[in-house]
Structure 1
Amino acid sequence: MSGDLAGRRVLVPESRELDLFASMLEAHGAEAVRCPLVAMRDVEDPAPVEAWLRRLAEGRFDDLILLTGEGLRRLMPIAKRMGIDGRVVEAIGRLRTVTRGPKPVRALRELGLSAQVTAPAPTTAGVIEALAGLDLAGRTVGVQLYPDNPNQPLLDAIRAAGAVPDPVLPYRYASDVDTDRVEAAIREMADGRIDVVAFTSSPQVRRFQDVAKARALEEQLRSGLSRTRIAAVGPVVADAVEAAGAQVWVAPESSFHMKPLVNAIRGEFRAA
């Protein structure tokens, strides 16, 4: 197959949009090696989420921070089961909403809503910077968190501004593919059989580390990450890669989602 990525084997650890991402790469000639590492699931105990949604529907919040699009998409079916989805949408529409990155913005648009404030960078630091320009004194701020990150710096920043944060965690991460497949991917990278690994979330990096530790493959993972080109969808993922002791080869300069990531990978191979 012809294309900028012809002959390149790209490891794809994406889960939710695996086929879409893989097809984008394959359209430019790549062989997409599918290895979905992390799945997103509903929380096991929905009671805290339901209580939070009731407070939202009752108008108990002044502001709302959305850190992920997945979070809002997980909240709405729960609200629908409770019979308050219409009230939740109306309540969000009345709030000053702050978003981290393009994904929560798109999730809001799906509900016919828009964000009032968008963080200058899709990171916790970017959200805190956006909040610094707002008067939060005496306000209650709903905060949609995401798994494996209690985000204490963000909650502390809200309190320091004189507001009360009210966080909710509407979903959890779960291992997706079996551990044997992850082990095989680590070995393929260590053997130089993967040209690029394209990370789209930081939990994917941690899943590799967890499997490497469990299977005594930490040296192979270090070797594989050092000899394989690493593409990161955005700065949060890049930070996770660097925390794992590896170097990011390419990342989009802006618009941190899959299509710009594919274009960034193509651009690096064209320039080589």
Structure 2
Amino acid sequence: MKVAITRPAVYLMESIAIARSYGFDTFAAPMILLRPVEDPRFDSFIHRLFEEEVDFVIFTSANGVRYTFDLVRFQEPFINALNRTNVVAIGPKTDKSLKEKGITAKIIPKEYSSLGIVDILTPIVDGRDVEIIRSDRGNVKLNEALKRAGAIVHEANVYTGVSPDGSWLVRAKELIKKILDRDIDVLTFTSGMTVNNFFEITREMGLYEEIRGICGEMLIAVIGRETERTLRNFGVNADVIPNTYTFEAMMDAVFLNRCVR
């Protein structure tokens, strides 16, 4: 069984190793490239943090942690200031990235998603300052829900995700051709943006309708409800959605699905 991996390049080696540990063959083609961004709101966040005006700091990905520290010049004072707040990690990978920097995440939701963060924070954020550090493609529903809960919400973007270009675009098109040739058994998506970029490339190749039809014949695995909803917008249903929102849990669910077929 051959599994297509569409995660950002930074996760490819880890993802390939996980998939192969289940006995799967793999073909990796990132459908999203990560780039740093400059957001003037980040300086405002730093100011509020050092003035001890911040109650909660939310990191929605390990990438957000990495790109945040690329922006911070004096890291030890920054770490100390963060640890005086309630740091929220969206899941275990983000928590691990924070720990590697010396930061303790005091809150991790049961569901590793923006919706999980909303569920756990809604009862405790009324009148509190909440800072969201993430990509510029983040789920606006997180901000809106926290505001409805009475929070004072600020967001700062530290990176962005763009469509594949250069050699990665060549690789993405190679994946689409493999799908056309029925050489891929499982297609995986880990975010709504990977879904959007995938179908945009199929349009550019003039293969949108054909690939969409073939997706209905394949096993499609996704992480998260938001990714599932994005996929449905293209008229494609997900076959596998793990209860735990990690790549390893998704591979485990794919393996179990194969065993019962």
Q: Residue 32 of structure 2 is aligned with which of 38, 42, 48?
A: 38
Q: CA deviation at 1:150?
A: 5.4
Q: Residue 98 of structure 1 is aligned with which of 74, 83, 88?
A: 88
| TM-score relative to the length of structure 2 | 0.88
Alignment of 1:159 onto 2:147: yes
Identity %: 21
Residue type of the partner of 2:101?
L
| TM-score relative to the length of structure 1 | 0.85
Alignment of 1:228 onto 2:232: no
Alignment of 1:183 onto 2:177: no
Counterpart-to-counterpart distance in 2, 1:253 and 1:157 = 22
Residue type of the partner of 1:121?
E
Residue deviations 1:119-153 (CA, integer Å, cap 9, x gap) = 3322333222222211422x2211123232351x3
Q: CA deviation at 1:90?
A: 1.0
Point out where structure 1 has 5 or more consecutive residues left out of the alignment.
Answer: 1-7
Residue type of the partner of 1:226?
G
Q: CA deviation at 1:31?
A: 2.1
Counterpart-to-counterpart distance in 2, 1:198 and 1:239 = 14
Residue deviations 1:66-125 (CA, integer Å, cap 9, x gap) = 22221122101211xx22x11211111111233323332222222333322323322333
Question: Which residues in structure 2 correspond to 1:22-33 (within 5 Å)?
Answer: 22-33=16-27
Contact preservation (8 Å) 1:141, 1:166: yes
Q: CA deviation at 1:40?
A: 1.3
Q: CA deviation at 1:47?
A: 4.2
Counterpart-to-counterpart distance in 2, 1:252 and 1:161 = 28
Q: How many equivalent residue pairs?
A: 258
Q: Structure 1 residues 115 and 47 mapped into 2: Cα distance closer, same or farther (>3 Å)?
A: same
Contact preservation (8 Å) 1:191, 1:224: no
Q: Structure 1 residues 141 and 135 mapped into 2: Cα distance closer, same or farther (>3 Å)?
A: closer
Q: Residue 14 of structure 2 is aligned with which of 12, 20, 41?
A: 20
Contact preservation (8 Å) 1:13, 1:35: yes
SS in 2 for 1:193: coil
Provide the alpha-carbon RMSD of the alignment.
2.2
Alignment of 1:125 onto 2:115: yes
Counterpart-to-counterpart distance in 2, 1:59 and 1:214 = 49
Point out where structure 2 has 5 or more consecutive residues left out of the alignment.
Answer: none
Residue type of the partner of 2:155?
P
